[in-house]
């Protein structure tokens, strides 16, 4: 059973020693299939719109006290993008300035190999999701640190011979 309500509030939110939020995101990915359902080696990533605009990014949100980084990545992917999959080894940790508060946040990113895409998910009515190529994602992603995480994922997949362009 999948929880169909997003967590809300900041009572369980983690903060770094400078008072900045610790956030966790992931890059949901899969390999494109042809019309007959046959797999290929062409990588696609899933991006979502912001709640406040149509600008695109990867799912991310607050890391809470009662979960691991990997659990937070899974939760955010489900809540914001409606996908379930396998969280893989961390891509890295970035420090970036919050546009709203002007303080440094910590962002952790993970790859999520998508196994299931849901028709209904908690934030379906406030977000748009779209599968696209890596090149398209690099062009439209609004966060520099997420673009860096995408580059790391692509290099990791190339070096393991899983992804060919």
Output the CA torsion 158→128→79→46 (10° steps): -10
Provide the terminal-to-terminal Cα distance of the chain, rounded to the nearest Å. Answer: 37
Is the CB of residue 28 less than 8 Å from the CB of residue 77? yes
Residue that has been written with the tokens 């007959």 in this structure: 36
Q: What pLDDT score does 4 carry? A: 55
Q: Domain total for the chain?
A: 1
The answer to the question of residue 164 being in a domain is no
The answer to the question of residue 77 being in a domain is yes
The answer to the question of residue 10 being in a domain is no
The answer to the question of residue 110 being in a domain is yes
Average pLDDT over residues 104-122: 96
Q: What pLDDT score does 101 carry? A: 73
pLDDT tens readout for residues 52-61: 888 999 999 9
The answer to the question of residue 46 being in a domain is yes
As a whole number, the mean pLDDT across the chain is: 89
Residue 65 belongs to domain spanning:
22-159
Q: What pLDDT score does 10 carry? A: 66
* CA dist list (Å): 117 to 28, 90, 141: 10, 22, 21
The answer to the question of residue 13 being in a domain is no
Residue 163 has pLDDT above 90, yes or no: no
pLDDT band at 8 (very low <50, low <70, confident <90, very high): low
Which 8-state DSSP code applies to residue 111? E
Per cent of the chain over pLDDT 90 is 70
Residue 165 has pLDDT above 50, yes or no: no
Residue 19 has pLDDT above 90, yes or no: no
The answer to the question of residue 165 being in a domain is no
The pTM of the full predicted model, rounded to 2 decimals, is 0.87
- Token reading at 134: 């890596």
Is the CB of residue 47 less than 8 Å from the CB of residue 130? yes
Output the CA torsion 16→52→143→32 (10° steps): 120
Residue 1 has pLDDT above 50, yes or no: no
CATH at 62: 3.90.79.10
The answer to the question of residue 133 being in a domain is yes
In terms of phi and psi (left: phi > 0; alpha: psi -120 to 50; beta: otherwise), the region of 154 is: alpha
- Phi and psi angles of residue 137, each rounded to the nearest 5 degrees, phi first: -60, -40
């Amino acid at each position: 059973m999948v929880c169909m309500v997003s967590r809300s509030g900041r009572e369980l939110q983690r903060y770094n020693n400078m008072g900045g939020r610790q956030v966790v995101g992931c890059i949901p990915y899969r390999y494109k299939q042809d019309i007959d359902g046959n797999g290929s080696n062409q990588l696609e990533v899933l991006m979502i719109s912001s709640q406040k605009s149509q600008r695109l990014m990867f799912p991310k949100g607050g890391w809470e006290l009662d979960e691991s980084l990997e659990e937070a990545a899974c939760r955010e992917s489900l809540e914001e993008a409606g996908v379930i999959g396998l969280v893989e080894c961390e891509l890295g940790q970035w420090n970036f300035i919050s546009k709203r508060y002007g303080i440094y946040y910590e962002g952790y990113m993970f790859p999520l190999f998508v196994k299931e895409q849901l028709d209904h998910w908690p934030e379906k009515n406030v977000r748009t999701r779209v599968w696209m190529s890596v090149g398209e994602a690099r062009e439209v992603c609004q966060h520099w640190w997420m673009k860096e995480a995408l580059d790391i994922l692509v290099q990791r997949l190339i070096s393991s011979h899983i992804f060919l362009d």
